[in-house]
Amino acid sequence: MADAHTFSDHYRQGMVTRRAVLGDSHVDRASSAATAFDQPFQELITEGAWGTVWSRPGWTKRERSMVTIALLAALGHDEEVAMHVRATVNTGASRDDIAEALLHVAIYAGVPAANRAIKVAKQVFEDMDAEKAA
């Protein structure tokens, strides 16, 4: 892994944004699990996705969150849907926002994709509610 001082401005901003959206514990787990094999990937997503796209002005984290969930649902990426649904506690996207985004998925990407994502979201909400109650 490169020294922190060798990282680009987009990487450094990406790490700030990634932590704000996904939470320190998630980012710390991903970082500590990185090996020489996947470290370049971790750097790529931190710089590209988080430091470039998620850090752009113009859209709020809430808006980016809804679009991201819809895109991931349309593509059938259940683990990523779950991660981003959980992250809505940090982005401000509500459960109603997610439901609306998944209705769009049903119309524009297909009912099966939306149906699967709704099941994933419901499970995440159930888990979050249980954690909150504990």
State pLDDT tens for residues 70-112: 999 999 999 999 999 999 999 999 999 999 999 999 999 999 9
Q: Which CATH number does the domain 60-134 belong to among 3.30.465.10, 1.20.1290.10, 2.70.98.10, 1.10.357.10? A: 1.20.1290.10
Average pLDDT over residues 52-58: 96
**CA pair distance 19, 117, nearest whole angstrom:** 24
Listed in sequence order, the residues at least 6 apart from 90 whose beta carbon sits closer than 8 Å to its beta carbon are 20, 21, 22, 23, 61
pTM to 2 decimal places: 0.91
How far from each other are the two terminal CA atoms of the chain, in whole angstroms? 38
Confidence tier at 134 by pLDDT (50, 70, 90): very high
> In this structure, what is the dihedral angle of CA atoms 56, 19, 61, 114, given to the nearest 10 degrees?
120
Q: How far is CA 123 from CA 29, 75, 76, 119, in A?
A: 22, 19, 16, 6
CB atoms near residue 110 (< 10 Å): 14
Confidence tier at 5 by pLDDT (50, 70, 90): low
Q: Domain residues of the chain, as ranges?
A: 1-57, 60-134
* Secondary structure of residue 55 in the 3-state scheme: coil
